[in-house]
Structure 1
Amino acid sequence: MAAAETPYSITPRYAEVANSYQALNTIIDQVLDLDGTIPSGTALFATQVWPERNLVVVQSTDASAGLRRALADRYGTYNVAIWLRSESDRPRLNVRTKSSASVSAAADSRQNDTGKLNGGSKFVSYKSDLTEAGACTTAFAMGSAADNLVVSAGHCAEGDGRLWDAGVIEWTNWRDGQGTIKRPNQPTYYGDVSLMRTGFGQVTSPTIFIGGRDSSVKEWVGGRFSVRAREGDQYCIGGASPNPESNGQICRFKVTDIAWKVDYTDPKTREHDGTVRWVQVGKKTGTCPVAGDSGAPVYTFRQSDGYVVAKGIFSGGAGDDKPVQSTCVTYFTDFHDVMKAVGKDIYKK
């Protein structure tokens, strides 16, 4: 005899709030562009929706009465909160202008990837006059073996050139001085991403380099996270900066914030490099990425077989760009946005 069924119904519960999500996003889209139109507008550098309080949080190096009053006049007294930060907390990009690696760099290593192309290896992009645009790090191969596609950070491929030292740059969703742009037929912004295709006889591999700055150790890519990053998630960054102070793979980062819109500023010139939409934020103490690690793979290791699981692409950081800091802040594009931008999944074992 079948067990008796107990009928039930689900009644959704929701709270009435003063600001819609669209209204808060409108503030986010506007506030970082105020600059000289309000007092200390250039002090604002990052913003995010705070759903629990139904308002927008703005990170700023200034919280003066003039700035507070200007934001309140524009957006209302209770719709924007200022998170006061120091100048060292301003985000920066991690491109290295000089690409030369150690002469003794071993073949088929992070610094000299001569076999099948791996994620986590150094690469150089070029301008149209064939001068170097900068050195960055490859992230992951995409699609299949036949596609020969590799992703990295968008700002690593910005410039007027279409070449990198292993092939051609298909596209970038970054424009220098502006930041993340919408690509044709894409409805929204997808972080900081570039797509490159190998050439010159090189093909891609579903592997990345792991270990230190000069490592030649590779690990299979077993897949990618099925869900977006969440607060508390831990991850590694596998940079390939030729900087002698580079640490290579750095782990034990923990996601602290989701979906920030961030202004990147050149720490030397104080010029605006661009605004990224959107990135996840993670922190740790101790060792940090340095210039040249931009575009690096963000990942964890699968316990069952040790394979790499992709989480995203490293975009930039905050702090003084030293290899060891009391608080190391990193920003990365979630891999789900990478897939949407590229239109393909990860190339895996």
Structure 2
Amino acid sequence: MQYTSAQNKPFQTPVLFLIFNRVGLTQKVFNEIKKIKPKYLYVAADGPRPDNSSDVETCRETRNIIEQIDWDCELKTLFRDKNLGCGPAVSSAISWFFEHVEAGMILEDDCVPNLSFFPFCEELLEKYKDSDVVKFIGGNNFQGGRKRGNASYYFSHYPASWGWATWRRSWQIFRANISESTAEIKSGKLDYVFNSTKEKNHWIKSLYKANRESSSVWDFHFYYSIWKSGGLCITPNQNLVVNMGFFDQATHYFLKDSTKTSVKNETMVFPLVHPDKVEVNREADKYTFNHFYSHSGQRAIRLLRENNIYGILAYLKNRFL
């Protein structure tokens, strides 16, 4: 059975919507949120950048989108006057969210969800609410059409934060300052996470860079916090969220002579089939690292073709090169 948006009652799980200055993309994501009519909606916005004169107007227009709420909704907003940067702005907004709720879903302004993403997260937030191991529920799948196991989802060491859900208990382990992370990985304490020396060295380099660029990075800090706690992440066997922001960047910077193809967004089938065991799928994680994080040109191109998510190329260049 497939989930539809025909609901007579509001969606009960709290949703945090992170916005900034991208009016068109924010409207697309809001249109999907509006279909499920969340009873509890939290909206956080970073302030305009002081060196960008157009931000004042675009930030205002973006914030005004929430005036389109036409359902019974308890709305809370965190609209900043000053620009914090995408690292602190996002992490502090998530902390604010979990000051108010025990569990919830997080969407950024360029992450367009399939409607089935919402009940998928809602069901699993309830199922694993008392788990000491499950820390994160993701909406993304970058396995190139490969189904991992016989269930609706599998367990991974890799969070994918383009539409996700978690609990207050999980976010409480997040630390913005992870200066010890590279030394701890070098020491071998987190070797259980990695499938090769190459993978381990990649994350030593990436976390070192994340520590230097804390104003623009928050997600790698959360990765490390989850790994250090021994946590696992849920990955759906369908891709339930598309990052349209990276798609747009890619068309401007890398694909001027390429034919745009549709970005693949899939629908989860219900009722969910749950895995028999809570254990990491090593083959899936190897694939994720080799085709997503380890970004040699051929591997990146293959991933883009398989998933029709061309914006990953822009993401890899901006994050790692």
- For the criterion TM > 0.5, the same-fold answer is no
**TM-score normalised by L of structure 2:** 0.27
> Larger helix proportion, structure 1 or 2?
2
> Larger strand proportion, structure 1 or 2?
1
**TM-score normalised by L of structure 1:** 0.26
Q: Whose RCO is larger (CA < 8 A, sep 6+)?
A: 2
